[in-house]
Amino acid sequence: MAETIADLVAEHRAGTTTPAETVARSYARIRERNDPSIFISLRDEAEAIAEAQALSGKDAAALPLYGIPVAIKDNIDVAGLPTTAACPAFAFQPARDATVVAKLRAAGAIVIGKTNLDQFATGLVGVRSPYGVPKNAMRDDLVPGGSSSGSAVAVSAGLVPLSLGTDTAGSGRVPAMLNNIVGLKPSLGLISTAGVLPACRTLDCVSIFALTVDDAAIALQALAGYDEADAYSRKLPLSAPGPLAAPLRLGVPRADQLQFFGDAQSERDYQAALQRFVALGCTPVEFDLAPFDETAKLLYDGPWVAERYLVIRELLKSNPDAVHPVTRGIIEAGAHVTGADTFAALYRLQALRQRSARVFESIDAMLLPTAPTAYTVAELAADPVTLNSRLGVYTNFVNLLDLCGLAVPSTIRDDGIPFGVTLLAPAGHDARLASLGRLFHADTQLTMGASGLPQPPLAAIEPQLGADEIALVVVGAHLSGMALNGELQALNARLLRVTETAPDYQLYALPGSVPPKPGMLRVEAGSGAAIKVEVWALSQAAFGRFVAAIPRPLSIGSVRLADGSLAKGFLVEPIAVTGALDISHYGGWRAFIAATV
């Protein structure tokens, strides 16, 4: 039987395995694992199997998660199961599913149960729970990572192929690294948080754990979408992973700014990961990590801890001993935050956002260790606050700066400790990170989670236009890596494919254009040259803004591609090529530039 979402859905649709059999397998594996600290509550097995059997009456092709068992972090509401946030005294019975759970069911997924977490989603270690400590799937003595500990372990151990966590300070990324799985932290507002118990409501997001990047991307497509029930929901672009514009600029901190807290092996592993990205075609670009470090310190040293206090202040007043002592010590500090403190921090954050935004003008994505090192449960017990803080040095700033992230396994050390890296980009670039992360993860040839099973062959991507997108044929300075490509990147455009036109065009170097640009002129069919081009996808709104800014003598018309299809693309007015150099024999602008440098 298959292990990944993609393969399981294919088997379910083909009828070689049924959703009911897959659900039953999950329950059997939970019993075999025999770790009562992974799940806080489980659905009745017969009820879950009956729900899986009922899928047979639905259109399987329309259900992207057809028959997939899913585990849900226990700060996300599931009708019929209590929401505890790992605090029995706080537990309540939700009246309905959280929006994200309703979307899971609508996509054909079957909820298995609610998973353990650092109490009130406060922590990156996974040990602050009265329900016990889930055993790390890779090495029993390691912390499982938090706060989404149970969700990460459930996927790594093969109990379910998909689980949901939340991520405010790194809770969807740190446990992914420590359990050798993929952790997708989407752009804020991309997945609804209606029905999710807040940690910091202004910063929270639902995260996704899966065995492969492609599986995480499948889930994201099913779960994303604007939700009026969530005041922080946003209408953000989202596309499936696709080809990458090359060369992709990968931001890397200065060597003296990286912290590994004495773990020389993690430092070597990070450098090895960077070299793997270089071999995949990325260009390293050094940047200043200082504003990101300063932002990270704001999360717990600043007023945002008051948001955590707001959620449980009544419990702290009435029954403080019900809260884990470490968690209580962190959250009680929020009671003393003043309005002046809050505004001072907001002003500082805005300045740091401006500085960090400038960094992303020169890079396409940022590469960081997911965590600087790993700790055992025993080590953490000796110094719970300091070691927890160390695990968040590369994660705490992400939501404050409105970034999306993808944590990907990188290597497994000889001592069995996993190491991983995280790709970061501004909100709305989730597909770009998935496109790069899937190539990297496949290239590592790591086994999936703790299963010891190889990754499936990387599926070929057939890029498709989204319902709100328009294809644009680019021929010159807007090609990937060329002078004006940043204009497309700024509009969240994505590369669909590299191809060439039908032999119906001539290409000219336009005199006096700054930066240098070509003009492509349509001639009689078959009497010209085939010109190498790129096809990009833009939202309709972005396409309109882009076209409005195009200067004469260039214009947008219909361009015939080699496969006979038509797409909107750059053309030039015939009068503009009078006296211009005909460069058609080069076959494209990139070849001409290379030959003239």
- Confidence (pLDDT) at 247: 74
Kindly give, in sequence order, each residue whose CB lies less than 8 Å from that of residue 42, ignoring residues fewer than 6 positions away: 27, 30, 112, 113, 114
Q: Establish how many alpha carbons lie within 13 A of residue 370's alpha carbon, considering only the half-sphere containing its beta carbon.
A: 33
Tokens of 553: 């003598």
- Confidence (pLDDT) at 492: 83
- Confidence (pLDDT) at 246: 66
Nearest of 139, 216, 214 to residue 173 by alpha carbon: 216
Superfamily of domain 469-596: Gamma-glutamyl cyclotransferase-like (3.10.490.10)
Q: Which of 26, 41, 129, 147 is catalytic?
A: 147
Burial 248-264 (b: 16+ CB within 10 A, else e): bbbbbbeeeebbbeebe
Phi, psi of 186 (to 5 degrees): -75, 170
- CA gap 477, 486 in Å, rounded: 10
- Fold matches, 5-288+352-444 and 469-596: no
Domain extents in the chain? 5-288+352-444, 469-596
Q: Which of 26, 37, 41, 73 is catalytic?
A: 73
Kindly give, in sequence order, each residue whose CB lies less than 8 Å from that of residue 215, ignoring residues fewer than 6 positions away: 4, 5, 6, 161, 162, 182
Residue segments in the chain with a per-residue pLDDT below the cut of 50: none
Q: Which of 171, 207, 266, 410 is catalytic?
A: 171
Residues in the chain: 597
CATH code for the domain defined by 5-288+352-444: 3.90.1300.10
- Confidence (pLDDT) at 237: 81
- Which residue intervals of 416-475 are DSSP H helices? 430-444
Tokens of 541: 């709104």
- CA gap 67, 426 in Å, rounded: 33
Q: How far apart are the first and last CA of the chain?
A: 55
**206-to-50, 72, 87, 170 alpha-carbon distances in Å:** 27, 10, 20, 11
Give catalytic status of residue 156 as yes or no: no
- Confidence (pLDDT) at 2: 87
Give catalytic status of residue 135 as yes or no: no
- CA gap 527, 504 in Å, rounded: 6
> Does the pTM exceed 0.85?
yes
Nearest of 225, 189, 219, 222 to residue 204 by alpha carbon: 189
Question: Are the C-beta atoms of 489 and 542 separated by less than 8 Å?
Answer: no
Give catalytic status of residue 410 as yes or no: no
